[in-house]
């Protein structure tokens, strides 16, 4: 029982998926959350009337597999809607995300014109970009990432330092390190885990843009104490950032720490499925932790949101694991061109 969640623009890929399902004797059901109709719905609906779509939830609960295909003719379709409404809509859909997690699921993207436009690329060039990111030697990628997984698996704490504005400490002890090489995400290419919710301390500036509620947050800055955001700011759309943080209690804490390792993704394209895998980046997500990252006996952060935000690590940066530098300026300690330079100055 396979749910294929895909927009109309992804029709050629949906046909290719149905071919595979036919070969396997798996029964398909196509669902979509169509952006123009959904915008029309959200513009009109009284947010008090919003409730979890039980029929949708039943579908996801009965599904063995969910194949989620992104792709947009206009990525700005929800722009201008009140953020409270989008938050309310996000909250009622939380059980759907939970149910999907309990299936064998995969997320991918059809290279649609809206996504290409957002990346400032022709549709043709964007298709090539997507294919380069996706058509990789995933076994080699898995082995490359396993080197980092090994170092994180027995570790207690990670410190991320980048430029003047990012120095953040995150405990991960006991949580699970996931080597994502295109099992759940296509493309894959990251290593990620869950922070211990109360452990996060320090400051971070996410210097890659964050798209939230159809708007672009630039240079989102967060300051953490005891795991919680105690100060926040941004150069653009700071109010969207504030709204995000205000979704629920868990929205003020981190649910994910991820390290991008797919060097086939060589540019920022305003699409998190790709951006978070980009080489020389780390990302942290406000909100819910993935079940598969929370260690036995540990607590995972809970929230209606999971908002990934990216820090460029290509220059003037390092990742420390239990005090040892495992990446400097984007290069890992297990790569040939790693430079064991001393830290510029003690802090």
**Site size for a second copy (CB under 8 A):** 48
What binding mask, one character per residue, do residues 212-241 give for a second copy by CB under 8 A, x or -? ------------------------------
Site for a second copy in 59-78 (CB under 8 A): 59-63
Q: Which is closer to a second copy, CB of 39 or CB of 215?
A: 39
DSSP-H helix ranges across 204-261: 238-245
Taking contact as CB under 8 A, which single stretch among the options 46-54, 105-113, 291-299, 311-319 is the one that binds a second copy? 46-54
Strands 185-186 and 104-109: parallel
The angle that helices 238-245 and 83-92 make with each other, rounded to 10 degrees, is: 30
Q: Which stretch binds a second copy (CB under 8 A): 12-20, 132-140, 261-269, 298-306?
A: 12-20
* Min CB(251)–a second copy separation in Å: 23
Give one word for 270, left, alpha or beta, with left for phi > 0 and alpha for psi -120 to 50.
left
Give the residue with the Cβ less far from a second copy, 106 or 121: 106
3-state secondary structure of 12: helix
Q: Which range binds a second copy by CB under 8 A, 39-47, 232-240, 262-270, 323-331?
A: 39-47
Cα 301 from chain centroid (whole Å):
15
DSSP 309-344: EEEE-SSSEEEEETTEEEEETTEETTSTT---PPPS
Q: Give 39-43 contacts, CB < 8 A, sequence gap 24+.
A: 39/77, 39/78, 39/81, 42/78, 42/81, 42/85, 42/86, 42/89, 43/81
- Is position 45 an interface residue for a second copy (rule: CB under 8 A)? yes
Residues 19-38 that bind a second copy (CB under 8 A): 19, 21-23, 25, 27-34, 36-38
Distance CA 147, CA 144 (A): 6
Judged by CB, which is closer to a second copy: 60, or 177? Answer: 60
Q: Is 150 in the site for a second copy (CB under 8 A)?
A: no
User: Does the footprint of a second copy cover residue 81 (CB under 8 A)?
Assistant: no
CB 71 → a second copy: shortest distance, Å? Answer: 12
**Choice between 40 and 156, CB closer to a second copy:** 40
- State the DSSP H helix or E strand holding residue 307, giving kind and residue range, or none if neither: strand 306-312
CB of 22 to a second copy, least distance (A): 3
Q: Is 126 exposed, middle or buried (0-12, 13-18, 19+ CB in 10 A)?
A: buried
Alpha-carbon Rg for the chain, nearest whole angstrom, is 20
Q: Which residue has the tokens 């994910």?
A: 256
- Residues in contact with a second copy by the rule CB under 8 A: 1, 3, 8, 11, 14-19, 21-23, 25, 27-34, 36-38, 40-46, 48-63
């Amino acid at each position: 029982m396979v749910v294929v969640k895909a927009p109309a623009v992804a029709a050629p890929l949906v046909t290719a998926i149905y071919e595979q399902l036919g070969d396997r004797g798996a029964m398909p059901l196509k669902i979509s959350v169509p952006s123009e109709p959904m915008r029309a719905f959200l513009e009109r609906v009284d947010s008090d009337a919003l409730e979890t779509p039980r029929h949708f939830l039943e579908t996801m609960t009965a599904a063995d597999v969910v194949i989620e295909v992104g792709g947009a003719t206009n990525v700005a379709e929800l722009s201008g809607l009140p953020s409270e409404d989008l938050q309310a809509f996000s909250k009622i859909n939380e059980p759907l995300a939970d149910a999907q997690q309990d299936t064998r699921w995969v997320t991918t993207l059809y290279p649609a014109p809206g996504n290409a436009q957002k990346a400032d690329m022709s549709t043709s060039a964007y298709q090539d970009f997507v294919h380069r990111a996706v058509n990789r030697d995933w076994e080699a990628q898995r082995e490359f990432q396993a080197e980092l997984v090994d170092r994180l698996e027995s570790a207690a704490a990670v410190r991320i330092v980048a430029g003047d504005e990012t120095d953040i400490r995150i405990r991960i002890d006991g949580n699970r390190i996931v080597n994502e090489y295109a099992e759940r995400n296509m493309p894959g290419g990251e290593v990620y885990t869950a922070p211990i919710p109360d452990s996060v301390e320090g400051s971070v500036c996410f210097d890659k843009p964050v798209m939230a509620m159809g708007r672009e947050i630039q240079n989102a800055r967060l300051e953490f104490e005891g795991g919680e955001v105690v100060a926040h700011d941004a150069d653009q759309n700071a109010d969207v950032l504030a709204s995000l943080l205000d979704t629920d209690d868990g929205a003020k804490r981190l649910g994910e720490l991820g390290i991008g390792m797919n060097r086939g993704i060589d540019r920022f394209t305003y699409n998190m499925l790709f951006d978070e895998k980009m080489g020389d980046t780390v990302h942290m997500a406000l909100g819910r932790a993935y079940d598969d990252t929370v260690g036995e006996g540990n607590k995972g952060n809970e929230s209606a949101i999971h908002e990934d935000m990216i820090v460029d690590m290509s220059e003037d940066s390092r990742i420390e694991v239990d005090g040892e530098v495992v990446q400097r300026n984007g290069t890992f300690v297990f790569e040939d061109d790693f430079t064991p330079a001393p830290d510029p100055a003690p802090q």
